[in-house]
Structure 1
Amino acid sequence: MPQNIAPETAYTPASAFERLLTIMNTLREQCPWDKKQTMESLRHLTIEETYELSDSILEGDLQEVKKEIGDIMLHLVFYARIASETGEFTIIDVLNGICDKLVHRHPHIYGDVEVADETDVKRNWEQLKLKEGNRSVLEGVPGSLPALVKASRIQEKARGVGFDWEEKSQVWEKVEEEMREFRDEFNVTDDKDIDKEKAEGEFGDLLFSLINYARFVNINPEDALEKTNKKFIKRFQYLESKAGQLGKSLKDMTLAEMDVFWNEAKGL
Structure 2
Amino acid sequence: MGKIYIIGLGPGNEELLTLGAIERIESGRKNFLRTENHPSVKYFERHNIPYKSYDYIYDSEDEFNDVYVLIVEELKKESESEEEINYYVPGNPLVAERTVELLLEENLDIEIVSGMSFIEPMIELVGRDPINGLKIVDGAVFNSSMVDINVDLIITQTYNQRILSEVKIILSEIYGDDYNVYLVQNAGVRGKEKKLCIPIYKLDRLIETGPLLSIYVPKIDKNIKKVFDFNDIMGIMKVLRGVGGCQWDAKQTHDSIRECLIEEAYEVVDAIDNNDIDNIIEELGDLLLQVVFHCQIAYEEGEFFPIEVTSALANKLIFRHPHVFQEKKIVNSDEVVYNWNKLKYGKRDITGLIDKINNIPKLPALMTSFKVQEKAAEVGFDWDDIKGPIDKVDEEFKEVLEALEDFGGGDKRVEGEIGDLLFAVVNLSRLLDVNPEIALNRTIRKFVKRLKFMEDKSEELEIKLENMTLNEMEILYQEAKRQECL
Q: Bin the TM-score by the shorter chain.
A: 0.7 to 0.9
Q: Decide which structure has greater strand share.
A: 2
- Cα shift at 1:166: 3.0
1:230 matched to 2:426 = no
Secondary structure of the structure 2 residue equivalent to 1:41: coil
Taking a change above 3 Å as real, the CA distance of residues 160 and 128 of structure 1, as seen in their structure-2 partners, is farther
- Cα shift at 1:194: 6.9
Could you list the runs of 4 or more consecutive aligned residues of structure 1 that deviate by over 4 angstroms after TM superposition?
none
Q: After superposition, where does 1:1-268 map in structure 2 within 5 Å?
A: 8-10=225-227, 16-29=229-242, 30-33=244-247, 34-111=249-326, 113-131=328-346, 132-134=348-350, 136-143=355-362, 145-187=363-405, 193=408, 196-268=411-483
Secondary structure of the structure 2 residue equivalent to 1:223: helix
Q: TM-score, normalised by structure 1?
A: 0.84
Secondary structure of the structure 1 residue equivalent to 2:349: coil
- Cα shift at 1:226: 1.3
Report Cα offsets for 1:129-175 as digits up to 9, x if no partner. Answer: 332223611133223x2111211222233334544333222322322
Taking a change above 3 Å as real, the CA distance of residues 142 and 255 of structure 1, as seen in their structure-2 partners, is same
Secondary structure of the structure 1 residue equivalent to 2:382: coil
- Cα shift at 1:75: 1.4
Taking a change above 3 Å as real, the CA distance of residues 55 and 7 of structure 1, as seen in their structure-2 partners, is same
Which of the pair has more CA radius of gyration?
A: 2
1:72 maps to amino acid: L
Secondary structure of the structure 2 residue equivalent to 1:267: helix
- Unpaired segments ≥5 residues, structure 2: 1-221
- Cα shift at 1:104: 1.9
1:173 maps to amino acid: D
User: 58-67 vs 167-176, which deviates more?
Assistant: 167-176
Q: TM-score, normalised by structure 2?
A: 0.48
Q: Distance in 2 between matches of 1:202 and 1:133?
A: 36
Does the CA-based 8 Å contact 2:408-2:414 persist in structure 1?
A: no
Q: Decide which structure has greater helix share.
A: 1
Number of equivalent positions: 256
- Unpaired segments ≥5 residues, structure 1: none
Taking a change above 3 Å as real, the CA distance of residues 142 and 159 of structure 1, as seen in their structure-2 partners, is same
Does the CA-based 8 Å contact 2:404-2:414 persist in structure 1?
A: yes
Does the CA-based 8 Å contact 1:123-1:160 persist in structure 2?
A: no
1:32 maps to amino acid: C
Q: Distance in 2 between matches of 1:111 and 1:157?
A: 28
Does the CA-based 8 Å contact 1:56-1:62 persist in structure 2?
A: yes
- Cα shift at 1:195: 8.7
Report Cα offsets for 1:83-113 as digits up to 9, x if no partner. Answer: 0112211110001111112222223333364
Secondary structure of the structure 1 residue equivalent to 2:368: helix
Q: Distance in 1 between matches of 2:319 and 2:378?
A: 17
Does the CA-based 8 Å contact 2:320-2:340 persist in structure 1?
A: yes
- Cα shift at 1:120: 2.4
Q: Distance in 1 between matches of 2:381 and 2:337?
A: 13
Does the CA-based 8 Å contact 1:9-1:16 persist in structure 2?
A: no
2:257 maps to amino acid: L
Secondary structure of the structure 1 residue equivalent to 2:350: coil
CA RMSD of superposed structures (Å)? 2.5
Q: Distance in 2 between matches of 1:249 and 1:195?
A: 31
Taking a change above 3 Å as real, the CA distance of residues 195 and 60 of structure 1, as seen in their structure-2 partners, is closer
Taking a change above 3 Å as real, the CA distance of residues 17 and 193 of structure 1, as seen in their structure-2 partners, is closer
Taking a change above 3 Å as real, the CA distance of residues 7 and 39 of structure 1, as seen in their structure-2 partners, is farther
- Cα shift at 1:203: 1.8
Does the CA-based 8 Å contact 1:122-1:160 persist in structure 2?
A: no
Does the CA-based 8 Å contact 2:396-2:417 persist in structure 1?
A: yes
Q: Distance in 1 between matches of 2:472 and 2:427?
A: 39
2:322 maps to amino acid: P
Does the CA-based 8 Å contact 1:126-1:137 persist in structure 2?
A: no
Q: Distance in 2 between matches of 1:193 and 1:157?
A: 35
1:43 maps to amino acid: R
Taking a change above 3 Å as real, the CA distance of residues 66 and 241 of structure 1, as seen in their structure-2 partners, is same
